[in-house]
Structure 1
Amino acid sequence: MKKFSFVAVVVMVAVVVLVASEAQMAEAVTCSPTELSPCLSAITSGSPPSATCCSKLKEQKPCLCGYLKNPNLKQYVNSPNAKKVISSCGVPYPQC
């Protein structure tokens, strides 16, 4: 009977680990600068960001350092208007 209980505990722990890893995978974001297209007008014109822009920006927050390291994107993410948009949306500017 002890052996059965030990096996049951091991199986339960394995299930918990699998469920936890699935939850982390579901939270992973795909970094795609095109996801920030709703922010384009706010960044280029300095107008206030839309709710959609802020939502996408918060979604893409883990990707901002990668965008800053990309020479083709850095100028946009590092621009004064982009910094205003990031701040207006309540997203901390990345410290890379």
Structure 2
Amino acid sequence: MTMRFVSIFAIVLFLVTKANVSCNPLQLSACANAITSSTTPSSICCSKLKEQRPCLCKYMKDPRLQKMISSPNAKKVATTCGSPFPNC
């Protein structure tokens, strides 16, 4: 009974955490160097990219962000970080 409660609590916590993502493209500034110069992304970049993943489709629709977010290097960074771009 206790294990079942813990499992349900963990699932609810995960869903609530994912639902509370604050879309802020400035959080991806840690990835700017990797995107613009094809360097290996830092662990901070990967962490921020995974955190902001639910927002990427929104960013790709923004004309100010679209060029950088949809660039081949950005997609390479996402793949390197283990967080490929969603299909929008």
Correspondence for 1:33 among 25, 35, 39? 25
Paired residue for 2:65?
Answer: 73
In structure 2, C-alpha distance between the alignment counterparts of 1:80 and 1:95, rounded to whole Å: 15
Structure of higher CA gyration radius:
1
Q: 1:37 Cα deviation (Å)?
A: 0.7
Structure 2: 5+ residue runs without aligned partners?
A: 1-11
What TM-score do the two structures reach when normalised by structure 1? 0.73
Secondary structure of the equivalent of 1:60? helix
Percent identity between the two aligned chains: 53
What TM-score do the two structures reach when normalised by structure 2? 0.79
Secondary structure of the equivalent of 1:48? coil
In structure 2, C-alpha distance between the alignment counterparts of 1:92 and 1:86, rounded to whole Å: 5
Say what the alpha-carbon RMSD is for the aligned residues: 1.5
In structure 1, C-alpha distance between the alignment counterparts of 2:44 and 2:56, rounded to whole Å: 17
The 5-angstrom pairing of residues 19-30 of structure 1 reads: 24=16, 26-27=17-18, 28-30=20-22
Answering whether residue 40 of structure 2 is matched by residue 48 of structure 1, we say yes
The 5-angstrom pairing of residues 51-62 of structure 1 reads: 51-62=43-54
Structure 1: 5+ residue runs without aligned partners?
A: 1-19
Match of 1:54, as an amino acid?
C
In structure 2, C-alpha distance between the alignment counterparts of 1:62 and 1:93, rounded to whole Å: 9
Paired residue for 1:5?
Answer: none
